[in-house]
Each structure stands twice: as structure tokens, then as C-alpha cells.
A and B are shown apart, each in its own frame.
Chain A
Amino acid sequence: MSADIKQSKSLLQNAFIRIINEKISLIALIIVAIYFLVAILTAANILASDWGKEVGASYMAPSSVSYFGTDIFGRSVLQKTIKATETAVVIGVVVSAISIVIGTTLGMIAGYFGGFVDEIVVWFYTTFSSIPGVMLLVAIAFILGKGTTTVFLSLGLTSWVGLCRIVRAEVMKHKEREYIHAANAIGATHGRKLWKHILPNISHLLIINFTQTFDSAIKAEVVLSFLGLGVVGRPSWGTMIDDSKLELARGVWWQLAAATLAMFLIVLAFNILGDALRDALDPKLKGK
């Protein structure tokens, strides 16, 4: 009975086990993994590399030649939808990254230092959240002009407030804990305490936030495309949905159907995964 001590599992390992043990969240995880795989394969030009090629007549109905029909230029809608997966995943990841960097940095600084710094940060995010999301998104995107950078920046700059609030509140609690006092006692610097000690303890919040921001970024890309401020030069689900506003009256429904279905599946999967992650990582928030 001596070497029987098992190494305990980390929070993340535990969460992972809980997710793959639940049928629904396991399916969601697999769907997300497939989408990411497709995105990587398209980025490497292995999949849908000739999405811009004409495969048939303009607006050909779905058939065995092209399972989702063709668009106005005779391009395969299926290929476009697959190529657009790359666009969506890139948008989701970049936007979440921007929002997590801003939200975490500001939230940690405010929560840790408190006082005047805190007041400034709180004022800053109150200001940002006082402009209704859609209007701020529209204003930023409109001013930066059309393009992929605009999509990244406008979505990233409008989605960090929620995380900043939560991180700030959590850091405020953590900085009074014993382990921080202990770090203090051995002379750890502020940077070390924040980076090495507090950040790992609040990292679950970032993971949960990632799933939410990813979802809302993909959904908001449709809004930007509709306003003519979306991505250019490559297909996206948003532009495909937006294109179909002129096509539906002519009975061309397949572009709308393909893009909506592709988007629906990953957003749904991320929604379910997000809930499962939250339940697994943060028991206090269970069911919310």
C-alpha cells in the first residue's frame, strides 16, 4: 500500500473528463473539433482550395454535381461554406484573443491595485458599456472602413467589458488570500504575484469567456456583413447570408441554407460546450 498514491488531477483535467463523460457535451466537443480541423485544412489549402472556381452555371440548384448548388458566379456553395469555416474560426479566435487580453489586463490591474487605478478602469468600462453594443460596433466598423482588420478590431473592442468586470471582482477576492500573503512574505513583485499566482487561479474564467466571445463574434460578423462592413476577398457565412437577400425572391435558397446550417451547428456546439465548461470549472455558477 505504499506506491498507491495517485497523482491528483488538475481542474482542467477534471473538467475535460466531465465533458467527455457527458454524451451531449462530448458531441459538442467533437463538432467544435471538426470545425477547427476543417479550418486548419482549408488554411493549409488542402480543403476547398479551389472555392473560387466555376463548377457550373449560375444559380444551379443542388444536385449530385454540387450538393449545395452554385452561387451567382457558378461557384460551388459547398466549397464556399467550407472555406468560410476558416474565416469564422479565425474571427472567433482573434476576436476572443483581443477581448481576453484587454479584459484580463484591465480587470487584473483594477482588482489588484484598487484605489484610484480601480476607479479609472471602472469608469472606463462603464463608459464603454454605456454605448449600446450594436451602435458602438457600427460606429467603430464604419470609421475603420471595410476589411478584415475592421472586423477583428470592432468586435474585439466591443466584447471585453463582461470579462473585465468578472476578472476584477475575482482578483479582488484573491489578493486577500493566504497564498498571496505568502508570496508577499517571500518578496514577490506585483508582476509575479499577478502573473504567476493570481492568473492561473482565475484562468477558468478566461476559458469560459472564450466560448462566449467566440459565439458572439461569429454571430456579429453577420451583422457587419449585412452593413457592408464585413470581410472582403474571401467567403464568410455572413456575406453568404447577406447575399441571399437578393436571391430568395428568385427561389435560390441553398446559399442561405448552407451558411445558416454551418453557423448554427458550431454556435450551438459552442453554446453547449460553454455551459458544460462552466459547470465543470466554476461550480458556483452552476446552471446560470
Chain B
Amino acid sequence: MNLYSYIFRRLLYIIPVLLGVCLVIFVLFNLVAPDPAYTLLGKHATLKQIADLHHELGTDKPYLFQYLDTVKTAFTFNFGYSWTSKQNIWEMIKAGAGPSLAITGPLFVLSNIFAISLALLVAFYRGKLIDKVVLILSIAGMSIPSLAVVLFGQWFFAFKLGLFEISGYENGFPNFIPYVILPILLYVVISFGGDTRFYRTVILDEAYQDYVRTARSKGLSELRVMFKHVLKNSMIPILTQIIIQIPGLILGLLFAESFFSIPGLGAMTINAINNSDFPVIKAMTIMSAVGFIVFNVITDVLYTVVDPRMKLK
């Protein structure tokens, strides 16, 4: 099979997966969830009011049509209106994306650079003391609840020591910087353990391959073996891991945004949960799933383009 037909088939596979995601969302929100009428109208609504609301929300239609409505939103991103703020959800998402990206963007770059360089360093000195120390630190880092890190970090560094802004946000490029530094640093700490451990494993997987032994027996220096041979080959899983993080960036950070009062999408989701705002949660679920599916395909396709050994199945 040639590359183009593989890519085409891979793209086609988006359709059943997307339909499946819509099915899960439909089952959750339209079948399992309690009738929204009681949430919206309270206990003393008349039957007429309830019927009107059902008609307005489209929940009086047969299930098949309700499902098709869900599918339609996945393609049009026309999510309707929030129940609490009555705003258009797509506009809300657009407004929240900026502040979220202001944290997740730098965080994504910083945490990956940090974890990959550290992983390279310990892979270079594998089995030595520094390797063991970093490994223990990463496992310990993975074991601390992230909420505790955020709470403690905000209290200690911002409240107690007054080094950073406690909370708040300002729009515009240089203005937001003082508000996002602390959340970013805290999340670098939170993600460091898992990331470093993952990248270390990936690099070490390559370090014991036959071609590495060959390179060494040719008399190449350890540094050259590491960067020219090992790193190049471990680039594929590393890149996959990096790309797959991208759709998550838009979701924002659930804890940090609400604690630091950053008006991003993470905070929006939390608000929606607190106010039983079904359409907003549904919208965020659909949007994140679509993002994930698209980037998953991109990764798969890149994989085959980058690595000629990949079999096209």
C-alpha cells in the first residue's frame, strides 16, 4: 500500500470514531443525565413550561434525531447557549482560549525541554548516582497529589513570601506575564516526574540496541553515539508524546485556573460543573475529543512519514 492511500484510510477512520464519541456523549448527556427541566425550571414548573423547554432544547425529538444533533455539533461547533450566562458557548470558548494558552503554551515548551534534557542527561549517565537520584525524584514527584502542589505553592510562594501575584489576570501580551509565572512553575514541578521517567525509558530503550553497540565498537565517542544515533532514533516516540499533548493545551488547567482566577477554559469547565451547566460541559467534551482525534491522526501519519520501517497496515 502506498503512503497516500494509507493516509486516506487513516483519515476515513476518523468518521466511525467521531460517531462513536458522539454516541458516548449522547448516551451520557441525553439518556443517563437527569431531565434538564428540573435543573432549569425548578420544582414548581407547570407541564406547559416543561414541554416548551423540551421543545426548545430539542429533547422532545426521537432519540435518533437527538443523536444526529449531537453529531452535527461535532462538525459545526455550534454548541448553543450556556444555561447560566446565556452566552454563546463558542464565543465563550474563544474568549477563554487566550488565557488558557497563556499558561499551557509556555508550560508545554518549558516542561518538555526540561524533561527531555534531564532524560538525556541521566540516560548518558545511566546506572550512575545521578540517574538513580533523578529516578527517585521523578517517582516521588509522580506520587504527590497535584492539587496539594498547587495549594501549597500558591500559599507559600505568593501569599507567604509575596514573590508572585496571588491571583488575577490581565489580557494582552506583556500584561499577563506576572500572573502566569507561578502556575507555570508549579505545573512544571507537577509534570516533571512522569515526563522525565517516560523520556528516560524511551531513550534507554534505544540505548541497548545492536546498532548502538556497533556505533560504539567503531570507536565513536559516547557523546556522538548519544546524540547522533540514540537521540535520532528515540525522536519518534518523543515526538509522538509531544504532539499528543497539543490538543490538551486548549483545555487549560483545571486546578490552577480556578485558584489563580485565570479566566481560561479550565476555569470555565469548573464553573459549568458547579452550576450544572450541561451544554458547556458537553461542548468542552466534544471539542476536546475532536481535537484529540485529529491530532492522533496527525501523529500516526507523521509516524509513517518519518520512520520508513513502519509497516503500513
Q: When A131-B292, A140-B28, A242-B147 are in contact, do A223 and B254 touch as well, CB less than 8 Å?
A: yes
Question: What's the count of A-B pairs with C-beta under 8 Å?
Answer: 127
Contact B32 A144 (CB under 8 A): yes
A143-B29 contact, Cβ under 8 Å, with A131-B289, A287-B204, A288-B201: yes
Stretch at the interface among A10-18, A106-114, A244-252: A244-252
- Cβ < 8 Å to B, chain A residues 97-155: 123-124, 126-128, 130-132, 134-136, 138-140, 142-145
| Structural contact, A127 and B285, CB atoms closer than 8 A | no
Closest B residue to A272 using CB positions:
B139
Contact A131 B32 (CB under 8 A): no
User: Do B285 and A131 have beta carbons less than 8 Å apart?
Assistant: yes
Q: Which residues of A contact B146 (CB under 8 A)?
A: 219, 222
A77 at the interface (CB under 8 A from B): no
> In whole Å, how far is B201's beta carbon from the nearest beta carbon of chain A?
5
CB contact under 8 A between A142 and B281, given known A223-B254, A271-B142: yes
A132 to B21, CA, bound (A): 11
Does any Cβ of A come within 8 Å of B148's Cβ? yes
* B247, A132: Cβ atoms closer than 8 Å: yes
Instruction: Let me know if A123 and B147 touch, CB within 8 A.
Output: no
Chain B residue numbers with a CB within 8 Å of A245 are 151, 259
* Interface presence of B273 (CB below 8 A): yes
Segment touching B, from A54-62, A177-185, A226-234: A226-234
B172: Cβ under 8 A from any A Cβ: no
Neighbouring B residues of A48 by C-beta, 8 Å: none
Judge whether A130 and B289 touch: CB under 8 Å. Answer: yes
Q: In the complex the two chains form, is B139's CB within 8 Å of A268's CB?
A: yes
**Cβ of A256 < 8 Å from any Cβ of B?**
yes
A contact residues around B143 at 8 Å (CB) = 263-264, 267-268, 271
A241 within 8 A of B: yes
B151 touches A241 (CB 8 A): yes
**Are B284 and A226 interface neighbours, CB within 8 A?**
no
List the B side residues contacting A66 at CB < 8 Å: none
- Would you give the 0/1 interface string for B130-149, flagging 1 where the beta carbon is closer than 8 Å to chain A? 00000000011011111110
Supposing A131-B292, A229-B273, A264-B144 touch, asked if A249 and B155 sit within 8 A by C-beta, the answer is yes
Scan residues 12-30 of chain B and give those whose CB is less than 8 A from a CB of chain A. Answer: 16-17, 20-21, 23-25, 28-29
CB contact between A271 and one of B24, B32, B139, B255 (< 8 Å): that residue: B139
Given contacts A138-B269, A139-B281, contact A127 B274 (CB under 8 A): no
Tell me if B120 counts as interface (CB < 8 A to partner A). Answer: no
Q: Contact at B140–A268, with CB atoms within 8 Å?
A: yes
| Complex interface residues of chain B between 39 and 71 (CB less than 8 A to chain A) | none
Interface string of B144-180 (1 = CB under 8 A from A): 1111100110110001000000000000000000000
User: Which chain B residue has the least Cβ–Cβ distance from A263?
Assistant: B145
- A269 (CB) vs chain B CBs: closest residue: B143
A138 to B284, CA, bound (A): 11
B270 at the interface (CB under 8 A from A): yes
**What string of 1s and 0s marks CB contacts (under 8 Å) between A150-171 and chain B?**
0000000000000000000000
Asked whether, in the complex, the Cβ of B289 is within 8 Å of the Cβ of A228, the reply is no
Q: Are B274 and A130 in contact (CB under 8 A)?
A: no
Contact with B along A258-288 (1 / 0, CB 8 A): 0110011001100110010000000000011
Sampled A-B contacts (25; CB under 8 Å) = A126-B17, A126-B20, A130-B20, A131-B292, A132-B251, A134-B254, A135-B285, A138-B285, A139-B25, A139-B282, A143-B32, A222-B145, A222-B147, A228-B274, A245-B151, A245-B259, A249-B155, A253-B155, A256-B151, A259-B148, A260-B148, A260-B152, A268-B139, A271-B142, A275-B139
Name A's B-contacting residues (CB within 8 A): 123-124, 126-128, 130-132, 134-136, 138-140, 142-145, 219, 222-223, 226-229, 237-238, 241-242, 244-245, 248-249, 253, 256, 259-260, 263-264, 267-268, 271-272, 275, 287-288
5 shortest interchain CB distances as A-B pairs: A127-B20, A268-B143, A267-B143, A248-B155, A260-B148
